[in-house]
Structure 1
Amino acid sequence: MGKIAFVFPGQGSQTVGMAQEIANEHADVMAVLHQADKKLGYSLSQLMFEGPQDELTLTFNAQPALLTASYAIFKKLEEAGIAPDYVAGHSLGEYSALVASKSISFEDAVYAVHNRGKFMEEAVPAGEGTMAAVLGMAAGELEKVTNEVTETIAPVQLANLNCPGQIVISGSTEGVKVASEKAKEAGAKRVIPLVVSGPFHSSLMKPAASKLEEMLKEIKISSPTVPVIGNVDAKEVVDANEIEQKLIEQLYSPVRWEESVERMIDLGVDTFIEVGPGKVLSGLIKKINRRATTLPVYDIQSLQDAVKKLQVEG
């Protein structure tokens, strides 16, 4: 059997009821959720279990909610004796990966991502920035379009390089609109505007990055116990100082998800466990490499299935 990577989802995977079934069955999971409530000073767990969805989706709620749900499921995998050789997360998910690798404590991470969400919301006034998914166009071609629009009209750049033929662009509303039109003219199959509250992973997030830098000084970051594949350059990060720097850069740099998955495969990973709500990353990984085994773990049944499969093979 090859190596195992734990991958953690990012914003967009949040749903009302996430982690509820596992929390109801396991007191230690419920304790994790209450730990988050206490640290944040409001009932995040109630919001996760009961919604409303539009409130859960607000960046500063969605980020700690996803991190908490992912960490709760991670704890159950850990308890079953399943340990990763590598960890990675998509955008916000990188914080979940850092918690799993013992680089940041869960409480510190919940506090950090709640504030990260606030900083991201505050960086650009509502309506002034957005994102769109561009399907069926190569990164190099799309980058020519975004560079041209940025130079002549308004800022827009590649934000998430998710898998072959799926790239998200981000920037000013005007820049994204013009780049979307030009991308279609240049041969993109489809362009889908995303329902997001800001232009994440674009240069417009630099004000948020300087606030994040200040806040990260309050947090203890240790060297991870397993290598973390970072979003910014798709390389293994093993040094605490480097982690802090990469988390700051991550806010305004593209998420190199396709390259991150390729890197883990090059390092011998053949099984990816998606730890947290949804199956988004499992879908992307299959598009990057059909031969990879993906196991999304988001409720009791999927947890039992993954544990059984891995214990048999291990």
Structure 2
Amino acid sequence: MRKIAFMFPGQGSQAVGMGQDFYEHYPSIQKLYQEAKEVLGKDIQEMMFHGPKEVLTETENTQPALVLASMAVFSLLKQEGVYPDMTVGHSLGEYSALVAAGSLQLHDALPLVSTRGKLMEEAYPKGQGSMAAVLGLNEEEIRDVLTGIKEEVVDIANLNCPGQVVISGTKQGVHDASILFKEKGAKRVLPLNVSGPFHSRLMKAASDTFASHLDGVPLKDAEIPVYANVTAEAVINKDEIKKLLVEQLYSPVRFEESIRSMITAGVDTFVEIGSGKVLRGLLRKIDRSVHVFSITDLASFDSFINWYKEEMPC
């Protein structure tokens, strides 16, 4: 019997038009979007389907939009009788993973991640922070470089896959580190189009405020294991989940380690759910022996369901 994990994307996977074909074909999704609009107090559907892109990419809009897109597809998979054995999300995607695992309700998750996005935007002066993807160096090599930077804050933000690590910090710090990485032999250092130094020490103030918001959100023990970004280990206990969500804001996303831990736990099929194919691309660089799917539209949904019915007969 196959073991299936659902993966949920984070910020950067959004695109104008995401999820629109599901909305147009399924009344249940239309109802879900209407409920989201009422919970958020703004027309999230309009932003998702028609933009403009600049409005959708504002962090406090992007975050609930991505969670909603993921949960719409997840609800359709449930209707088809497809359930995961465990879940994982990339940064923001961890909230979708928790909803899918039964720890968090969608109507609580949407305003929570909107607040999270707003706090992340406000945590550090706009334009003063930066992030960059470093290609071709491993974690140890990157840490060696970062220990030599004393005057600025630069941290490892994402450990995505072999040879791809994201750094985050002050604009000057990321600039200085990028030069040193190239001297050390990095293939490329790519600045990311983000509004702040996410998953760095500069988000600590945001995490303290966010913790008070999280205290008002009812969390339950997860029904299935969720692999946490901070530890790359399975978590079920609601108190541990809450603690890790706070730490996640200023800690590196250990995505590659999480995937390897899940494979060790027996997962042989990963399904990316929501928008984009970023996680699928990372999976192929981590372990090409596992099955990987991305469900982003009706065609990819139908393709996966057909595969599932052949591989997992009733």
Q: Secondary structure at the match of 1:83?
A: coil
After superposition, what is the alpha-carbon deviation per residue over 1:174-219, rounded to whole angstroms, capped at 9, x for unaligned? 1101111111111111100001000000000001101110000110
Tell me, in whole angstroms, the C-alpha distance in 2 between the residues paired with 1:103 and 1:211. 21
| Superposed displacement of residue 147, structure 1 | 2.2
The answer for the alignment partner of 1:97 in structure 2 is 97
Question: Equivalences for 1:203-214 in 2 at 5 Å?
Answer: 203-214=201-212
Is 2:226 aligned against 1:262? no
- Identity level (%): 49
Match of 1:303 among 276, 296, 301: 301
The answer for the alignment partner of 2:62 in structure 1 is 62
Tell me, in whole angstroms, the C-alpha distance in 2 between the residues paired with 1:146 and 1:60. 30
Tell me, in whole angstroms, the C-alpha distance in 1 between the residues paired with 2:147 and 2:121. 25
Q: Which amino acid aligns with 1:254?
A: P
After superposition, what is the alpha-carbon deviation per residue over 1:264-314, rounded to whole angstroms, capped at 9, x for unaligned? 100000100001101100010010001111110011111111011011100
After superposition, what is the alpha-carbon deviation per residue over 1:22-76, rounded to whole angstroms, capped at 9, x for unaligned? 0111011111111111111110011001000111011100000000000000000
Match of 1:226 among 224, 227, 248: 224
Is 2:192 aligned against 1:171? no
Question: Equivalences for 1:183-198 in 2 at 5 Å?
Answer: 183-198=181-196
The answer for the alignment partner of 1:76 in structure 2 is 76
Tell me, in whole angstroms, the C-alpha distance in 2 between the residues paired with 1:297 and 1:147. 40
Tell me, in whole angstroms, the C-alpha distance in 2 between the residues paired with 1:54 and 1:270. 38
Tell me, in whole angstroms, the C-alpha distance in 2 between the residues paired with 1:23 and 1:211. 35
The alignment's TM-score, normalised by the length of structure 1, stands at 0.98
Tell me, in whole angstroms, the C-alpha distance in 1 between the residues paired with 2:146 and 2:31. 46
Gaps of 5+ in 2: none
The answer for the alignment partner of 1:292 in structure 2 is 290
Q: Secondary structure at the match of 1:253?
A: coil
Tell me, in whole angstroms, the C-alpha distance in 1 between the residues paired with 2:250 and 2:147. 15
Tell me, in whole angstroms, the C-alpha distance in 2 between the residues paired with 1:294 and 1:118. 33
| Total equivalences in the alignment | 312
Q: Is the 8 A contact 1:147 1:157 kept in 2?
A: no
| Superposed displacement of residue 145, structure 1 | 1.0
Q: Which amino acid aligns with 2:167?
A: I
Q: Which amino acid aligns with 1:232?
A: V
After superposition, what is the alpha-carbon deviation per residue over 1:65-98, rounded to whole angstroms, capped at 9, x for unaligned? 0000000000001110111001000000000000
Q: Which amino acid aligns with 1:109?
A: A
Tell me, in whole angstroms, the C-alpha distance in 2 between the residues paired with 1:294 and 1:114. 29
The two structures, once aligned, show a CA RMSD in angstroms of 0.7
Match of 2:279 among 270, 281, 285: 281
Is 2:247 aligned against 1:243? no
Q: Secondary structure at the match of 1:148?
A: coil
Is 2:5 aligned against 1:5? yes
The alignment's TM-score, normalised by the length of structure 2, stands at 0.98
The answer for the alignment partner of 2:270 in structure 1 is 272
Tell me, in whole angstroms, the C-alpha distance in 1 between the residues paired with 2:31 and 2:110. 14
Q: Is the 8 A contact 1:271 1:294 kept in 2?
A: yes
Tell me, in whole angstroms, the C-alpha distance in 2 between the residues paired with 1:28 and 1:207. 39
Q: Is the 8 A contact 1:10 1:91 kept in 2?
A: yes
Tell me, in whole angstroms, the C-alpha distance in 1 between the residues paired with 2:99 and 2:133. 29
Tell me, in whole angstroms, the C-alpha distance in 1 between the residues paired with 2:124 and 2:71. 30
Match of 1:215 among 188, 191, 213: 213
Q: Which amino acid aligns with 2:138?
A: A
Tell me, in whole angstroms, the C-alpha distance in 1 between the residues paired with 2:236 and 2:98. 11
| 4+ aligned runs moved over 4 Å, structure 1 | none
